[in-house]
Amino acid sequence: MLSPTLPAENPALAVQDSSRYVVVFEDVSIAFEGRVVLDGVSFRLARGETKALFGIAGAGKSTVLKLTLGLIKPDNGHIHVIGDDVTQMSEEELFDLRRKIGMVFQESALFDSLTVRENVAFRLLEEGDISEEEVERRVREALSFVELEHTVDMFPSELSGGMRRRVAIARAIIAQPEILLYDSPTGGLDPVTSTTIIELIVKQRDVYKTSSLLVSHRLQDAFTMATHYFDRQANQMRPLPPGAHGEVSMTFLVLRDGKVIFDGDAHELAHSKDEYIREYIS
């Protein structure tokens, strides 16, 4: 299924839709040193939706996340995030917008000279108007969400790869952002740890229902997310009954040669006739 045509010439519509869509890409293109990475990419992320982005290495998946945050600017097109066009904003204006977005980086990107507590509390400490007791309470809460309360005084170098990824999730969710961006959260991890991370993402999705963009090259991770839900009573991820849909909408977007070649749900993806996609999911 091809990406739906978006009203690229009508940014006002995207702004009006900001209550429905938290991220809108309109005909976005970007090239690095003459190599086109994204070529006219358009898609929308609805409020509360989780969208998984796929593509081979170098397809521009991480670039989509960096563009969403305004860390880099596109050569063409517009990107609306919570109603603001990030392509038209100054770095100073973007800092305010970024406070509403949480991001989990590919290699965690924890500050190695700070403890886990200081890493997780970073955003709250920067805001400066929150009491120490409140900061401590929220740090403990975020760390208990990722089940790493005992690491609070440790440094990132003392943690395993999976633990660092979980601390990065705690740092991203502490300020209860409106959008969460995950950049290959299971990349380089063993299958057991990957499942733990996916379970945490499903928990975050089903408990807080935060709109999320998830970049991955592991299709099984996204299928697990689409076919499971988080059981709060049992405090664990469980498979959905056959044919049932989860509470939160989960969609897939596939990038190839800088273009969107698929944007739809798990059922549509599984039944896609596109040869490339069939090969990708096989």
Partner 1 sequence: MELISPAEFAKEKVQAVQDYSLLAGRSISGFFRQPRYMADAVQQADLIGVGSLPIVVLTGFFTGAVLALQTSNTLQRFGSLSLIGQLVSTSMVRELGPVLTSLMVAGRNASGMASELGSMVVTEQIDAMRALGTDPMKKLVTPRVLATVFMLFFLTIISDLVGLAGGSMVARILLGLDTRQYWSNAWETLVFEDVFMGLVKPVLFGFIIATVGCYYGLSARGGTQGVGRATTQAVVAASVLILVVDFFVTRLLMMFLSYR
Determine the Cα–Cα distance for residues 142 and 90; give it in Å rounded to an integer. Answer: 31
| Minimum distance, C-beta of residue 110 to partner 1, in the bound complex (Å) | 8
Judged by beta carbon, residue 30 or residue 260, the one nearer partner 1 is: 30
Judged by beta carbon, residue 112 or residue 158, the one nearer partner 1 is: 112
DSSP, collapsed to helix, strand or coil, labels residue 130 as coil
Cβ atoms of 178 and 100 within 8 Å: the answer is: yes
Determine the Cα–Cα distance for residues 176 and 96; give it in Å rounded to an integer. Answer: 14
Judged by beta carbon, residue 71 or residue 266, the one nearer partner 1 is: 71
Judged by beta carbon, residue 197 or residue 250, the one nearer partner 1 is: 197
| Minimum distance, C-beta of residue 181 to partner 1, in the bound complex (Å) | 8
| Minimum distance, C-beta of residue 69 to partner 1, in the bound complex (Å) | 5
How many Cα atoms are found within 13 Å in the side-chain-facing hemisphere of 17?
Answer: 20
Interface residue list for partner 1 (CB under 8 A): 66, 69, 71, 91-92, 95-96, 98-99, 101, 103, 105-107, 109-112, 122-123, 126, 128, 171
In angstroms, how far is the first alpha carbon of the chain from the final one? 17
| Minimum distance, C-beta of residue 142 to partner 1, in the bound complex (Å) | 14
DSSP annotation of 105: B
| Minimum distance, C-beta of residue 67 to partner 1, in the bound complex (Å) | 12
CB proximity list for 144: less than 8 A, separation 6 or greater = none
Judged by beta carbon, residue 44 or residue 98, the one nearer partner 1 is: 98
